């Protein structure tokens, strides 16, 4: 698509920001060895040529780089963000300058966000790379006739996989879908290492406060929560975990953390960080238990893990930090309760997203190659291994092959 054509079809904030977006994308390209090696080579076989692909993932530089890779492979790509607060306008501008259609602006209202996604749906994508099932669920709800034509969806995150599973239970997942989040090369690195690190650093950078000696309340001890707790502890923080699942709670206990119900856990917390993947994790009934000057932040997919609306109007006291008053206490919320590492930072590290987006690129390629049945599918184990092998090779790390005796034992039952 010509640049003028892409610009005419797109809805972005300002095309003049393209140069800055290009610089950001170039930095990503330099630090993405797996995408550059394995994904580029695999996508080069023509399976994606001429396919209409929608990318609806937090629209910052790493996602933009994935988008350019798909376009280079001959796909007709249209992109949108999965949360208006994480969209970077410069990156959108750079994509449009490269001839890619984009519907995203930082800070778009909920209605504008929905309009952008429905405009993307309007392109009748054959393949969707989604985050939180933000596009997929809207296609099913608003444009069911387009769902029938979907060749496949590949889903980035825990919350989206849960939504796809719910669609399947409702008999509405009539097209192939791949749970990319559940690939080992995704959730074992992105969720704990990527988000664990970047949510913590975003909180500390936004507030410019110290973590050492502070009390952290981590709500949700899944993949992300475990990463958060470990990093907070690494910074010298003292961690209390809140869980609903008794097994995860027991795990947190055995990992050495205090475990308590939310109302108790927040009473002495300096930072409360949510990572439950659902909504309404921290609601009005808990506010009276919060400590004066507590910092609330969210690392999960939804802006609604913390009920920011119930805190009433606030005052921005520092970029990305809003003070609310509750019973005479000061409660500070970071980036309106959106994913703090992406809306309040640059998201997960590039090397981590190199793995996650290699999963997504190979997943899209797998869908485009055909043969994936309708319903929710696992990411192929062989591809997971290839991604890990490639990453290890780029690090100069070699592996042993299993010996004949090891293979024989693994294949048998009586030895």
- When the beta carbons of 218 and 361 are compared against ligand NAD, the nearer one is 218
Q: How far is the CB of 383 from ligand NAD (least distance, A)?
A: 20
For ligand NAD, the closer CB: 67 or 341: 341
**Per-residue tokens: 362:** 């190979």
CB-closest chain residue to ligand NAD: 222
Q: Which two tokens stand for residue 139?
A: 């296609």
CA distance 100 to 77: 6
CB of 93 or CB of 133, closer to ligand NAD: 133
299 lines the binding site for ligand NAD (CB under 6 A): yes
Q: Which residue, 42 or 230, has its beta carbon nearer to ligand NAD?
A: 230
Q: Which residue has the tokens 């793995």?
A: 355
CB burial string 198-216: b at 16+ within 10 A, e below = bbbbbbeebbeeebeebbb
Cα torsion for 401, 406, 411, 415, to the nearest 10°? 180
222 binds ligand NAD (CB under 6 A): yes
User: Is there binding between residue 175 and ligand NAD (CB under 6 A)?
Assistant: no
Contact letters (x/-) for ligand NAD, 189-208, by CB under 6 A?
Answer: -xx---x-------------
Q: CB 340 → ligand NAD: shortest distance, Å?
A: 7
CB of 226 to ligand NAD, least distance (A): 7
Q: Which of 76, 101, 134, 243 binds ligand NAD (CB under 6 A)?
A: 243
Angle between helix 110-121 and 134-142 (nearest 10): 70
Dihedral sign, Cα of residue 141, residue 145, residue 146, residue 150:
positive
Nearest Cα neighbor of 365 from 379, 350, 351 is: 379
Distance CA 242, CA 315 (A): 29
Report the alpha-carbon distance of residue 129 to residue 135 in Å, rounded. 9
In the DSSP assignment, the letter for residue 379 is P
Beta strands in 269-379, from DSSP E residues, in sequence order: 271-274, 294-298, 315-318, 321-326, 329-334, 375-377
CB of 227 to ligand NAD, least distance (A): 8
Nearer to ligand NAD, 84 or 222 (CB): 222
Q: Which of 103, 215, 231, 301 binds ligand NAD (CB under 6 A)?
A: 301
Contact status: 81 vs ligand NAD (CB under 6 A): no
82 near ligand NAD (CB under 6 A)? no
Look up residue 64 and give its two tokens. 């933009």
Q: Is residue 115 a contact residue for ligand NAD (CB under 6 A)?
A: no
| 356 forms part of the interface with ligand NAD (CB under 6 A) | no
Q: Which 308-347 positions form the footprint of ligand NAD (CB under 6 A)?
A: 339, 341-342, 347
Number of Cα atoms under 13 Å in the Cβ half of residue 76: 12
DSSP H stretches of helix in 10-97: 18-30, 33-34, 40-43, 61-72, 89-97
Taking CB under 6 A as the rule, does residue 354 contact ligand NAD? Answer: no
Residue 229 near residue 256, CB atoms below 8 Å: no
Examine residue 86 and tell whether it contacts ligand NAD (CB under 6 A): no
Closer CB to ligand NAD, residue 231 or residue 301?
301
**Which one among 71, 219, 372, 376 touches ligand NAD, defined by CB under 6 A?**
219
Please give the Cα distance from 185 to 190 (Å, whole number): 8
Closer of 100 and 342 to ligand NAD (Cβ): 342
Instruction: Among 88, 159, 201, 240, indicate the residue that binds ligand NAD (CB under 6 A).
Output: 159
x/- map, 252-281, ligand NAD, by CB under 6 A: -----------------------xxxx--x
Question: Reduced to 3 DSSP states, what percent helix, strand and coil does the chain have, rounded to the nearest 5?
Answer: 50, 15, 35
Question: Per CB under 6 A, does 245 bind ligand NAD?
Answer: yes
Binds ligand NAD (CB under 6 A): choice among 176, 225, 320, 337: 225
The answer to whether residues 224 and 286 touch, using CB atoms and an 8 Å cutoff, is: no
* 316-to-81, 272, 322, 330, 334 alpha-carbon distances in Å: 25, 19, 4, 12, 10
Residues found near ligand NAD in the complex (CB under 6 A): 157-159, 187, 190-191, 195, 219-225, 242-245, 248, 275-278, 281, 299-301, 339, 341-342, 347-348
């Amino acid at each position: 698509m010509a640049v003028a054509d892409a610009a005419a079809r797109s809805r972005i904030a300002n095309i003049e920001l393209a140069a800055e977006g290009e610089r950001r994308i170039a930095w990503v390209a330099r630090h993405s060895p797996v995408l550059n090696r394995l994904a580029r080579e695999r996508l080069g076989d023509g399976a994606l040529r001429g396919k209409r692909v929608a990318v609806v993932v937090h629209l910052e530089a790493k996602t933009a780089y994935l988008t350019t890779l798909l376009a280079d492979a001959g796909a007709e790509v249209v992109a949108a963000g999965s949360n208006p607060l994480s969209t970077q306008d410069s990156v959108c501008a750079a994509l449009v300058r490269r001839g890619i259609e984009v519907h995203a602006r930082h800070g778009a209202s909920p209605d504008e966000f929905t309009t952008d996604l429905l405009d993307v749906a309007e392109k009748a994508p054959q393949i969707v790379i989604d985050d939180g099932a933000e596009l997929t669920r809207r296609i099913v709800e608003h444009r069911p006739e387009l769902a029938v034509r979907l060749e496949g969806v590949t889903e980035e995150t825990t919350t989206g996989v849960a939504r796809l599973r719910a669609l399947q239970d409702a008999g509405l997942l009539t097209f192939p879908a791949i749970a990319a989040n559940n690939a080992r090369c995704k959730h074992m690195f992105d969720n704990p290492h990527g988000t664990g690190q970047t949510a913590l650093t975003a909180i500390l950078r936004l507030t410019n406060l110290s973590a050492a000696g502070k009390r952290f309340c981590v709500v949700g001890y899944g993949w992300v929560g475990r990463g958060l707790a470990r990093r907070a502890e690494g910074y010298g923080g003292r961690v209390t975990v809140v869980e609903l699942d008794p097994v995860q709670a027991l795990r947190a206990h055995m990992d050495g953390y205090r475990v308590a119900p939310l109302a108790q856990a927040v009473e002495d917390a300096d930072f409360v960080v949510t990572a439950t993947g659902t909504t309404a994790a921290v609601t009005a009934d808990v506010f009276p238990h919060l400590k004066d000057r507590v910092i609330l932040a969210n690392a999960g997919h939804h802006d609604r893990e913390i009920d920011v609306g119930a805190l009433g109007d606030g005052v921005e006291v520092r970029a990305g930090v809003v003070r609310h008053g509750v019973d005479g206490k000061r409660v500070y919320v970071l980036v309106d309760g959106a994913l703090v590492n992406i809306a309040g930072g640059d998201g997960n590290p590039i090397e981590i997203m190199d793995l996650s987006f290699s999963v997504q690129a190979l997943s899209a390629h797998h869908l485009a190659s055909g043969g994936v049945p309708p319903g929710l599918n696992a990411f192929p184990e062989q591809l997971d291994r290839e991604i890990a092998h490639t990453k290890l090779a780029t690090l100069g790390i070699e592996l042993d092959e299993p010996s004949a005796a090891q293979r024989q034992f693994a294949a048998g039952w009586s030895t």
